């Protein structure tokens, strides 16, 4: 990337000097500069994940929590990532230190949850660190929810009839 910037600066300087002395030559240098700039813009890595809608209408995926793979359902109505007790235990989270003092309204009713922070949460190429999350007691939920405490960190997310596109910052 640094090399492209140096090339662009050199081409710009030569272009300026040519524009003063020879406008025809300037036009060809200007075209080269545009091609170099276009190449640099296209070479940025894309951090995006596309998730197909399941037959039940949900957007389900596999995420990694602290390196442990787990199924999750995207829930834009959930203010936070919410984990089942079983998933939190498998991910090695400190369950014995948790205080279940947060009231949470779920599809199955009201539940008390505990706050914690996930060291690392990744969905494909999208990796976020220090993600706020909640854990519910054993047997209170069947699915892990990928809520807004993760989704708000993305550059964008877009829902279409058959898929959901998550885009991270480059």
Predicted local confidence at residue 41, as pLDDT: 52
Domain tally, the chain = 2
pLDDT digits (tens, 9 = 90+) for 7-45: 444 445 555 554 555 555 545 544 554 555 455 455 566
* One domain, residues 33 and 112: no
- Please answer whether residues 145 and 78 qualify as being in contact, where contact means their C-beta atoms are separated by less than 8 angstroms: yes
* pLDDT digits 0-9 by tens, 107-121: 778 999 999 999 999
The answer on 64 and 104 residing in a single domain is yes
- Structural contact between residues 122 and 61, judged by C-beta atoms closer than 8 angstroms: no
Residue indicated by tokens 């990744």: 122
Q: Does 98 share its domain with 160?
A: yes
Shared-domain flag, residues 11 and 52: no
Which residue range forms the structural domain that includes residue 52? Answer: 48-167
Phi, psi angles (nearest 5°) of residue 158: -140, 130
- Same domain (yes/no): 81, 118: yes
For the segment 62-71, the average pLDDT, to the nearest whole number, is 96
């Amino acid at each position: 990337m640094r090399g492209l910037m140096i090339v662009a600066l050199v081409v710009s300087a030569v272009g300026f000097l040519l524009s003063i002395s020879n406008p025809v030559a300037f036009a060809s240098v200007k075209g080269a500069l545009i091609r170099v700039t276009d190449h640099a813009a296209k070479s940025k890595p894309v951090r995006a994940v596309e998730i197909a809608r399941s037959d039940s209408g949900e957007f389900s995926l596999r995420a990694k929590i602290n390196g442990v793979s787990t199924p999750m359902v995207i829930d834009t109505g959930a203010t936070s990532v919410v984990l089942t007790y079983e998933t939190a235990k498998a991910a090695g989270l400190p369950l014995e230190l948790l205080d279940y003092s947060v009231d949470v309204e779920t599809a199955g009713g009201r539940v008390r949850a505990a706050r914690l922070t996930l060291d690392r949460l990744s969905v494909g190429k999208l990796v976020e660190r220090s993600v706020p999350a909640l854990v519910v007691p054993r047997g209170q939920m069947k699915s892990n929810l990928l809520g807004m405490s993760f989704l708000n960190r993305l550059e964008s997310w877009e829902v279409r009839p058959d898929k959901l596109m998550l885009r991270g910052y480059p």
